Amino acid sequence: MSLLVVGSVAFDAIKTPYGKTDKILGGAATYFSLAASFFTHVRVVAVVGDDFTEKEKHVFHARGIDTSGIVHQRGKSFFWSGEYGDNVNDAKSLDTQLGVFANFNPQIPAKFKDTEYLFLANIDPRLQLNVRRQLNGAKFVAGDTMNYWINGSRPQLEEMLKAVDALLINDTEAKMLAGDTSLARAASKILKMGPKALVIKHGEYGATVFFGHNAFGIGRHPFRAPTLPLEAVVDPTGAGDTFAGGFMGYIASRGELTRDVFKRAMFYGGVMGSFTVEAFGTERLQKLTRKEIDERYNVFRELTHIE
């Protein structure tokens, strides 16, 4: 089924204890679409500048991703430079230049109006809501957000939450959004704000999906997927967006919202994220094969499976 992502296609310069990069391809929509492309056909809506060349476009095309929704504007693409210390959960931003992204006002091309699965990557909730309204026929809509919008655009974010089926955020964001220090209580509160499903990502501890009352008719029991204990997290950039790509890509590939589909989607999210952090930027995703994904899925399953 058709899966569309709206978000940043950008450039990053990253430093981690394992090394550093010059300006390399990044952005939430990039990680998302590369990950999702292993499961279904993916469409990207984004804005880029003059620095986004045929070389970058090829990264998407090599994975069969439809880039006709990527608008080119005069100027520079969004650029972020950051440094990770030993604790991979804390990135120190060294530089952020919005570039053409500052005026991003996503318009969904007419030929994308039949989109069934939609992911609203982390952008201004006003834009997320605007996109959501352009795709009223979508069957399943998920979104991401961050502390900046939770603190600074609360009313708009609350509107957005009423318009999505699922929200994917991390522990810190969930506690901040709910104003609660207990993750389970925070989940209950957020589910009352609108989304039927809430995926909370725990970094190296995996992720849990919580379901609202009567959501999808599949019961309220939460489900937790692990991550692989990795000795070397070379670059954590994009891990969350990659998780979302695996999660949404798998769901779109199945076309039905059963409990089993959600469970496997959580596992595929973790599997895809575990690859991304093995190398800088999108390097690992670009080289990945479906066979490797299936093999690691089995490793993840063995990690928690009891008869």
Which residues of the shown chain bind its own copies in the complex (CB under 8 A)? Answer: 86-87, 181-185, 187-188, 202, 204-206, 208, 210, 221-226, 229-233, 260, 263-264, 267, 299, 301-307
Token pair of 138 as six digits: 């979508």
Choose between 57 and 189: whose C-beta lies nearer to its own copies: 189
C-alpha to C-alpha distance for 185 and 174, rounded to whole angstroms: 10
C-alpha to C-alpha distance for 120 and 134, rounded to whole angstroms: 12
The DSSP 8-state label assigned to residue 123 in this structure reads: S
Choose between 131 and 265: whose C-beta lies nearer to its own copies: 265
Residues in a beta bridge with 14: 82
- Residue whose C-alpha is closest to residue 143's, from 7, 1, 281: 7
Q: How far is CA 66 from the centre of its chain?
A: 17
Token pair of 223 as six digits: 């489900």
Provide, rounded to whole angstroms, the least separation between the CB of residue 208 and its own copies.
6
Choose between 57 and 259: whose C-beta lies nearer to its own copies: 259
For residue 28, the SS3 value is helix
Provide, rounded to whole angstroms, the least separation between the CB of residue 168 and its own copies.
16
C-alpha to C-alpha distance for 176 and 295, rounded to whole angstroms: 36
Choose between 254 and 263: whose C-beta lies nearer to its own copies: 263
Token pair of 289 as six digits: 């094969």
How many helices (H) and strands (E) in the chain?
11, 14
DSSP symbols for 119-168: EE-SS-HHHHHHHHHHTTT-SEEEEE--HHHHHH-HHHHHHHHHT-SEEE
